[in-house]
Structure 1
Amino acid sequence: MGLRRRLADLWQPWQPGHALLAIPVALIVAVTVIDLLAPPHIHLGPLLVAAPAITASFAGPWLTGLVGALAVAAQTIIAILRDRDELFSANHQVQIAALALIGLFLVFFCRQRERHARKLDRVQSVSEATQRVVLRPLPHRLGPLRIASLYLAAEDEAQIGGDLYAATRTGTGVRLMIGDVRGKGLPSINDASVLMGAFREAAHRCATLFELADALETSICRHLAEYAHHAEAPDELHEHFVTALILDIPDENSMAQMINCGHPPPLLLRKDHVTTLHARHPDSPLGLCDLPRAGFTVDPFTFEDDDTLLLYTDGVIEGRAPDGSFYPLDERVARWTGSGPEALLHHIRDNLLTHVGGHLGDDAAMVAIQCSPKLQPGQQLRKAIHINGIPHHAHSA
């Protein structure tokens, strides 16, 4: 079965990349013809090694081995036609053996490259699965809010890091959180997972935003204490903390609340204006468990119909251009105040990547929230039915 599958790979449907195979084949033919027509003291046979080397740059081990075999056959034909008596001379034996050996090395290289590519694909699949479990996509609509989210990983192979966001619908409104775990790698993902799990549970249980922030602090401190107990270096506990922004947006009125625990302040887009919502007394990040905390400061702000709130992590505003300048988020956002949540994040993403030259220095997460008309589609339909005098039970039937 393995040989049959490999042979099938050789004769798979034609692809545009297969046209590149004409280059090494043409090189073999050209070197062979020129070497046979050249004077006896000129030998171009060693140039045949370029054919499998070129093939290895775009093809797999089987095509590379096939071109390598053609190159060895061409070298043998050159030896036979130029001088039959020298077919087994030391010179031709060394050339043929060296060409065959280099071809084998190239086949081995291609095979290792394919193994590495398959391993990378598996890692990316696991990363994507982890992202779906830990960093769940936010719903496009929660109550009266339209929501869009975006995660940009600094590493090409990564899909998730220490940046996090979560949102949930409560009985009176919507609660959201965005945060950034200090550090990278699996520990930061673990911390992010713990915090988001605590948020999803406590957001429904806690009556006030203050109680919610306190519950998150308790959860992350308990988690970090367990981590320090099992870690080889307990002092690392002091190096773990989470900046977080927690919001409560009610359904019935336009007075929303936020608690800022050392996180970059959100931007409020209202008509053609952009306002930075600075906290009156910013709280320290979550997880600084050894430091005394007097409490949390709840900051109210108005969030009216058609307003848009932009939440982001420091990976956005700390994106550096080649000249060292930071990304001016508030200045650039002013260009797109009339955009919806999805379009707004699309504009920021493209503009940010252009600013940094295509590569971010740190993970970046963004959430755009737009306050749409308070009536939901179902409510609007029921209101229209009521206005037209059609009983609701008739529509249900």
Structure 2
Amino acid sequence: MSQAREHGSEHWPKRTFRNGGVGSGAAARKRAAHLAFGTPVLPLLVVGAIVLADLAGGAGIIWLPLLAAGPALAATTSRPFGVLCVGLLAAALSAVLGIRDGVPGAELMAVLSALAAVTLASALASALRWRRERVLAAVRSVAEAAQHALLAPIPSSVGPFQVAVRYSAAAAEARIGGDLYALVPTPYGVRMIIGDVRGKGLPAVGTAALVLGVFREAAYDEPDLLTVVARIERSLARNLDYDDFVTAVVAGYPEPGRLEVVNCGHAPPLHVRASGSVASVDPVDPAPPLGLRALTGETPSLQVLPLADGDQLLLYTDGVTEARDHGREFYALAEGLARHVSDEPASTLDALDAELQAHVGGRLHDDAALLLLRMPASVEPASAVAAGGGSVTVPSPPRPPAAGVRCGGGAE
């Protein structure tokens, strides 16, 4: 993912303090690098090439107007002061070459006037471009802060789990999109959500913020996971348009060996067993996305997934599985996960990220999020895992005892 970012406490930037001598040397190097970056090297090379062509050919007036390319090109890379410097240099060289080549005074004045006009227009364009860049930098800074507020960084361990997250927005310049995720410890165990808002841009961001706000509040208040989902549904029903919705998977780990999963029209999680096999946790009773329950009348159901020592669970959005290569082939996430799974969730997602980026040729066309959890072998007692494996389907609350056992599907 070209713009993917890893959210974890260990990845926040750290500021180091240096003594005065080292700091002043670093500041001097920074100023020198900044000056070198702002130097209009390419425009100067263009001006030099035109001067050499004139000196070699002696064609005079044929070459002199081309010197205006120097300040025009400098407007795309330099500040106004650099543009003016290139323009003055080009004018001086034009006057010297014109006199050397015997260009008539009227024609030389026309060339110099045109060069001055191009220089002034280029300086104005450079000033406007520089102003827009500063505004864009401020907007991107706000977007970055908004993303950190919306998608709070997740540490490498939450409760009993090892955790890793990767996120990439389709609108790379905005650095924020319509995919959402959260993982929070609560009095009722660790709870998590991953979802995909219909659409992109600011409306999708607003909906994602609404879902995450309600989830974080309800996850702490409600002992029942289906009630958490119901609160999100009610909030969306009040605030969304009739054609908007959010696909989501809400999961909870209330006790050792028991992982609860509620799937609302979202891509099924992938369960990686300690042996390395990958199974898709398909919903037994498919439910509509959040925000559409009033149209269908269907309610989501709860699946209980036994989670043993060394097991892992990958939650993701469709920006990953719908990523296509140049031959329009989808990325096979389950197969990629089976190839790269390891005991370190961060390493696993690093490998998946690199493979996915290679698959699409370096740029995703949809928001994409990956959330991987691993149960270390030393945390959960083996006796807590239900015999026989599989998932138990329980209807909406009030919930009767589990109705049956369903084994996870095969790898995609």
Alignment TM-score, normalising by the size of structure 1: 0.81
**Which of 249, 254, 262 is residue 250 of structure 1 equivalent to?**
254
Q: Is 2:220 the partner of 1:209?
A: no
Query: Structure 2: which amino acid aligns with 1:121?
Result: A
Secondary structure of the equivalent of 2:242? helix
CA displacement, residues 61-95 of structure 1 (integer Å, 9 cap, x when unaligned): 211210111111111222334449x33x2x11211
Q: Answer whether contact 2:58 2:101 (CA < 8 A) is retained.
A: no
How big is the shift at 1:276?
0.7
CA distance in 1, matches of 2:123, 2:337: 52
Q: Answer whether contact 1:151 1:364 (CA < 8 A) is retained.
A: yes
Query: Structure 1: which amino acid aligns with 2:153?
Result: P
Give the corresponding residue for 2:121. Answer: 105
Q: Answer whether contact 1:36 1:82 (CA < 8 A) is retained.
A: no
Give the corresponding residue for 1:44. Answer: 63
**Which of 252, 258, 267 is residue 264 of structure 1 equivalent to?**
267
CA distance in 2, matches of 1:207, 1:137: 25
**Which of 312, 326, 341 is residue 345 of structure 2 equivalent to?**
341
Q: 1:155 to 1:37 in 2, by over 3 A?
A: closer
Q: Answer whether contact 1:144 1:373 (CA < 8 A) is retained.
A: no
Q: Is 2:325 the partner of 1:314?
A: no
Give the corresponding residue for 1:62. Answer: 81
Query: Structure 2: which amino acid aligns with 1:345?
Result: L
Comparing both chains, which one has the higher relative contact order based on Cα–Cα distances under 8 Å and sequence gaps of 6 or more?
Answer: 2
Q: 1:303 to 1:264 in 2, by over 3 A?
A: same
Name the structure where helix makes up a greater proportion of residues: 1
Give the corresponding residue for 2:24. Answer: none
Query: Structure 2: which amino acid aligns with 1:257?
Result: E
Give the corresponding residue for 1:327. Answer: 331
Q: 1:320 to 1:47 in 2, by over 3 A?
A: same
Larger radius of gyration: 1
Query: Structure 1: which amino acid aligns with 2:372?
Result: A
Q: Is 2:276 the partner of 1:287?
A: no
Give the corresponding residue for 2:148. Answer: 132
Give the corresponding residue for 1:197. Answer: 213
Q: Answer whether contact 1:35 1:42 (CA < 8 A) is retained.
A: no
After the TM superposition, which residues 1-397 of structure 1 pair with which residues of structure 2 at under 5 Å, given as runs? Answer: 12-14=31-33, 17=36, 21=40, 24-25=43-44, 27-28=46-47, 31-32=50-51, 35=54, 43-83=62-102, 86-87=104-105, 89=106, 91-224=107-240, 237-251=241-255, 253-270=256-273, 271-373=275-377, 375=379
Range with bigger deviation, 202-211 or 255-264: 202-211
Give the corresponding residue for 1:394. Answer: none
How big is the shift at 1:36?
5.9
CA displacement, residues 219-247 of structure 1 (integer Å, 9 cap, x when unaligned): 221222xxxxxxxxxxxx22111111011
Secondary structure of the equivalent of 2:372? strand
CA distance in 1, matches of 2:135, 2:157: 37
CA distance in 1, matches of 2:48, 2:199: 56
Which runs of no fewer than 5 residues in structure 1 stay unpaired?
A: 1-10, 225-236, 377-397
Secondary structure of the equivalent of 1:59? coil
Query: Structure 1: which amino acid aligns with 2:88?
Result: A
Q: 1:339 to 1:98 in 2, by over 3 A?
A: farther
Q: 1:50 to 1:41 in 2, by over 3 A?
A: closer
Query: Structure 1: which amino acid aligns with 2:198?
Result: R
CA displacement, residues 26-56 of structure 1 (integer Å, 9 cap, x when unaligned): 5545644664675577642123223324434
Alignment TM-score, normalising by the size of structure 2: 0.78
CA RMSD of aligned residues (A): 2.5
Give the corresponding residue for 1:234. Answer: none
Q: 1:97 to 1:304 in 2, by over 3 A?
A: same
Secondary structure of the equivalent of 1:257? strand
Q: How many residues align?
A: 350
How big is the shift at 1:132?
1.3
Query: Structure 2: which amino acid aligns with 1:112?
Result: L
Q: 1:35 to 1:179 in 2, by over 3 A?
A: closer
Range with bigger deviation, 331-340 or 75-84: 75-84
CA distance in 2, matches of 1:57, 1:196: 42
Range with bigger deviation, 152-161 or 14-23: 14-23
Q: Answer whether contact 2:317 2:369 (CA < 8 A) is retained.
A: yes
Secondary structure of the equivalent of 1:204? helix
Q: 1:110 to 1:169 in 2, by over 3 A?
A: same
Paired-residue identity, %: 36
Query: Structure 1: which amino acid aligns with 2:125?
Result: F
How big is the shift at 1:120?
1.5
